[in-house]
Amino acid sequence: MALQYFITVSHKKFSVADTLISGQCFRWSEHNGRLCGTAFGRYVEIEQGDDGITLYGADQADYEAVWRQYLDMDRDYDEISRIVTGIEPRLADSAEFAAGVHILAQEPWEALCSFVISQNNNIPRIRGIVAKLCLRYGAPAVNAEFAREEADGHAFPTPEALAGVSEDTFKQLGCGYRASYLVEVSRRVADGGLDFETIKKAPIDEARKMLLSLKGVGPKVAECVLLYGFGRLECFPVDVWIRRALETEFTGGTALIGSPYAGVAQQYIFEYIRRHPERFQKDGKKQ
DNA sequence: GCCCAGGGTGTTT
DNA sequence: AAACACCATGGG
């Protein structure tokens, strides 16, 4: 790829891989040490060096316009780590383990759609379904010709594109019983019945209510959408893994709920328990 | 064959 | 309000 841009990263612990392959987003893949994927309609490959990151397929203007915000490069995660660990000291191990993780600023629609698909599902399957949707209904990204996996070079489908997809087709793509939810959610968003600009400006409880009004969106999905799609770092998604953690090794973790960076702490716990499954799997079973 | 997955809905107590 | 069955699908 012709374009190339290097940016020095002051947050030395920042990990591109841990951030992009982390269960908050289902679109990135790793090839030869580079993280490859599309956001905001642009395909990019990101390589981590000792002092910073190199973006292939992007220039400085792209970085400033898209990737700086998407990767949340301007936030002080060391400070956040201190704050959440102050609330629950037993977070120290998790916070250190996942210190390289940033909370991505994803497009709200992609977050909403992805996490509707995520319910009662597992991450590899979610990734597969999302890839199919992007391949079939997403527009080719800028720089798509360089993509090593074809789906990586497609934008996430617009609400309008998915509003034209039938329930049967969603089922054929492996969405299962979530197919009807996708039909409904796509229509509501495409029709303007759910307006992301309004959600952005709304107080958090109003924002929650608006998302919860969608069939197929419950408390956990709403928290994920607000955290990963709207930058509401106080939102605290509780999935089966987090629930088990709160019932066992992080019983004090509920004190985080409602605090300004609860969502970041949640991410630290999630990364930690997913990499130590033997301690948190149901009944100690293997997956 | 059973159990599980970044859960939610609808129904019954 | 709390408990419960049910929901599709693929991997372990």
| Structure token digits, residue A206 | 């109003």
Distances (CA, A) of A185 to A30, A155, A174, A266: 30, 19, 17, 26
Assigned CATH for A6-97: 3.30.310.260
Query: What does the pLDDT read at residue A286?
Result: 43
Cα–Cα dist A193/A87, whole Å:
39
Residue A287 pLDDT greater than 70, yes or no: no
User: Mean pLDDT throughout A139-148?
Assistant: 98
Catalytic-role residue among A220, A282, A285, A286? A220
| Cβ contacts, strand B, under 7 angstroms | A 22-24, 115, 118-126, 177, 214-222, 224, 237-242, 266-267, 270, 281-283, 285, 287
Residue A284 has pLDDT above 90, yes or no: no
Q: Where are the domains of chain A?
A: 6-97
Which letter does DSSP use for residue A37 in this model?
A: E
Q: Name the nt closest to A177 by C-alpha to C1'.
A: C8
**For the segment A161-191, what is each residue's pLDDT rounded down to a tens digit?**
999 999 999 999 999 999 999 999 999 999 9
Q: What is the pLDDT of residue A280?
A: 87
Q: In whole angstroms, what is the distance from residue A167 CA to residue A150 CA?
A: 24
Q: Which residue is nearest to nucleotide B10 (CA to C1')?
A: A215
Instruction: Give pLDDT tens digits for A43-59.
Output: 999 999 999 999 999 99
Lowest mean pLDDT of A116-120, A183-187, A242-246, A280-284, name the range. A280-284
Each residue's pLDDT tens digit, A56-106 = 999 999 999 999 999 999 999 999 999 999 999 999 999 999 999 999 999
Specify the pLDDT at position A283: 65
User: In whole angstroms, how far apart are CA A70 and each of A39, A58, A66, A217, A262?
Assistant: 8, 14, 6, 24, 20
* Measured CA A164 to C1' B5 distance, in angstroms: 28
Distance of CA A2 to the CA centre of its chain: 28
Structure confidence at residue A58 (pLDDT)? 98
Q: Which residue is nearest to nucleotide C9 (CA to C1')?
A: A176
Query: What is the amino acid identity at position A182?
Result: L
Predicted confidence (pLDDT) per residue in A221-235, tens digit: 999 999 999 999 999
Average pLDDT for A207-231? 98
Instruction: Measure A61 CA to B5 C1' (Å).
Output: 40
* CA distance linking residue A256 with residue A194, whole number of Å: 29
To the query of whether residue A220 is one of the catalytic residues in this protein, the response is yes
Residue A225 CA and nucleotide C2 C1' are separated, in Å, by: 27
Residue A285 has pLDDT above 60, yes or no: no
Residue nearest the C1' of C11 (CA based): A287
Decide if pLDDT at A195 tops 90: yes
Contact yes or no for A211/A199 (Cβ under 8 A): yes
At residue A19, the 3 state secondary structure works out as: helix
Are residues A102 and A19 in contact, defined by beta-carbon separation less than 8 angstroms? yes
CA distance A236 to A270: 11
Say if CB A72 and CB A83 are below 8 A apart.
Answer: no
Distance of C1' in B9 from CA in A284, Å: 29
Query: What is the pLDDT averaged over residues A114-126?
Result: 98
Per residue in A239-263, pLDDT tens?
Answer: 999 999 999 999 989 999 999 999 9
Nucleotides of C under 7 A from a protein CB: 7-12
Q: What is the mean pLDDT of chain A?
A: 96
| pLDDT tops 90 at residue A148 | yes
Rounded, the Å distance between the CA of A149 and C1' of B3 is: 32
Tokens 């949640």 sit on residue: A266
Tell me the nt nearest to A125, Cα to C1'.
C10
